[in-house]
Amino acid sequence: MSAKEVKTGIHFINGDEACCEGALAAGCRFFAGYPITPATEVAESMSRRLPEIGGIYIQMEDEIASMAAILGASWGGVKSMTSTSGPGFSLMMENIGLGICTETPCVVCNVQRAGPSTGLPTLVAQGDMMQARWGSHGHYEIIALCPSSPQEMFDFTVRAFNLSEYYRLPVIILADETIGHMTERVVIPPEEEIEIVNRRKPAVSREEYLPYEADADGIAPMANCGDGYRIHVTGLTHDERGYPAMDAKAQEKMVTRLVDKIRNNRDKIITTKNLFLDDAEVVVVSYGISARSSMQAVQDARREGIKAGLIKLDTVWPFPEDLMRGVAAQSKAMIMAEINGGQMVLELERAACGACPVRLVSNYGGAILHPALILGSISKAAKGKL
């Protein structure tokens, strides 16, 4: 029996395994990584599954090399990914920037554990939210998705590949230890029902092709190494030919495009799941495992007669600031629930811009947020006590 590329059916698997299956379903055929708790099961699954279906798995010497390898594989024309956790994510930062600058499609799954440093290897946190946004040097835009279940680990990994292929950048899956290690029902649809996006290929002749000349929407068609087109790939600021261009004008032009291709398409990239927003007075905003605790708290609040609502961030970057601004204008208060000292709450405060009070419910990691803690904050906010 030949191994299946898409394991259509109903499974009881953990989030890390679901991430692997999502990647394979999206067409990923190259994984380079270094095992680390709590992301090891992504690599482990990949090491078993990729060789079965003609893909390549490489265990690298470290995470710096892992990130470099998947960039190279992507330029070779193969959809590629790596997975890691905090300490490895830190090491990947430089080459994530290289991926941004060279517009290389690939996916990085960070199953977050508590830091700083080695921290709590086996325990949950959501402390890398700002690192995902700003961890590599220079100014850029990023896309990051936050799954709240093993099912979403599958679904969002497929979407991460599609976004990376379309917008040509490393897309980050910001999972957390609980979601990575939680085992739950995962439904993998038939192959033909899974939407797959592949990178745009050059529409001009080899003579006319410029590797960084963008179409009207800001996306440059990508020729892979070996396709016969002339390409030049560098982390230096470059012109349309891909050649280094060492001045402010070239910098302005290049970074504007890198930033605008994401900013101008925010509405297409951002997705949220909204619950009871129509009449909500107190709105909880959350993501990942914390969104499940929040949903429980919001349902409990409703049972107590409090008009509570929830915005679950599927995409944390770009941040849905327009939605937040609108909701803040109609709310008594907003609450960010997250497992860190307060990271996405800063974005929420910025977006709310004083239109309503913004409160944080959090811990520094090691345990998931208890719904009762969030419920307490909702109750106080509903009574106007903040």
Partner 1 sequence: MTDKRERHILITGFGGQGIVMAGDILGRAATLYDHKHATMTQNYGPEARGGACSSQVIISSEEILFPCVEEPEILVCMSQEAYTKNVKSLRPEGTLIWDTDLVRTRKSDMSFKTFHIPATRFAEQLGTKMMANIVMLGFLSAVEPLVHADALKKAVLESVPPATRDNNLRAFTNGREYGQSIIKGTVEQEQAKLQD
Number of residues that bind partner 1 (CB under 8 A): 23
Q: Does 368 bind partner 1 (CB under 8 A)?
A: yes
* Binding track over 72-111 against partner 1, x by CB under 8 A: ----------------------------------------
- Residues 149, 179: contact at Cβ < 8 Å? yes
- Residues 168, 219: contact at Cβ < 8 Å? yes
User: In this complex, which beta carbon is closest to partner 1, that of residue 300 or of residue 321?
Assistant: 300
Q: Does 256 bind partner 1 (CB under 8 A)?
A: no
User: In this complex, which beta carbon is closest to partner 1, that of residue 182 or of residue 328?
Assistant: 182
Q: Does 370 bind partner 1 (CB under 8 A)?
A: yes
The one-character DSSP state at 118 is: T
Q: Does 37 bind partner 1 (CB under 8 A)?
A: yes
Selected range binding partner 1 among 21-29, 192-200, 209-217, 288-296, rule: CB under 8 A: 288-296
Q: Does 295 bind partner 1 (CB under 8 A)?
A: yes
Give phi and psi for 135, each to the nearest 5: -65, -30
Residue 385, Cβ density class (10 Å: 0-12 exposed, 13-18 middle, ≥19 buried): exposed
Q: Does 357 bind partner 1 (CB under 8 A)?
A: no
List 204, 225, 329, 372, residue binding partner 1 (CB under 8 A): 372
Selected range binding partner 1 among 90-98, 294-302, 314-322, 352-360, rule: CB under 8 A: 294-302
Strand arrangement, sheet containing 308-313: 272-275, 308-313, 282-286, 333-338, 358-362
Q: Nearest Cα to 199, choosing from 173, 226, 219, 229?
A: 219
User: In this complex, which beta carbon is closest to partner 1, that of residue 107 or of residue 298?
Assistant: 298
Could you tell me the smallest distance in angstroms from the CB atom of residue 173 to partner 1?
19
Could you tell me the smallest distance in angstroms from the CB atom of residue 317 to partner 1?
25
Q: Does 379 bind partner 1 (CB under 8 A)?
A: no
Q: Does 12 bind partner 1 (CB under 8 A)?
A: yes
Token digits of residue 180: 């990575």
The secondary structure of 5-62, three-state, reads CCCCEEEEEEHHHHHHHHHHHHCEEEEEECCCCCCHHHHHHHHHHHHHCCCEEEECCC
User: In this complex, which beta carbon is closest to partner 1, that of residue 171 or of residue 188?
Assistant: 188
Q: Does 293 bind partner 1 (CB under 8 A)?
A: yes
Q: Does 178 bind partner 1 (CB under 8 A)?
A: yes
Between CA 65 and CA 43 the distance in angstroms is: 15
Could you tell me the smallest distance in angstroms from the CB atom of residue 123 to partner 1?
9
Selected range binding partner 1 among 192-200, 242-250, 328-336, 363-371, rule: CB under 8 A: 363-371
Distance set, CA 236 to CA 90, 97, 99, 143, 233 (Å): 21, 11, 12, 22, 9
Q: Does 296 bind partner 1 (CB under 8 A)?
A: yes
Q: Where are the beta strands (DSSP E) in the chain?
A: 9-14, 28-33, 56-59, 79-84, 106-114, 120-124, 143-145, 170-176, 183-188, 272-275, 282-286, 308-313, 315-317, 333-338, 358-362
Residues that bind partner 1 (CB under 8 A): 10-12, 37, 121-122, 178, 181-185, 292-293, 295-296, 299-300, 368, 370-372, 375
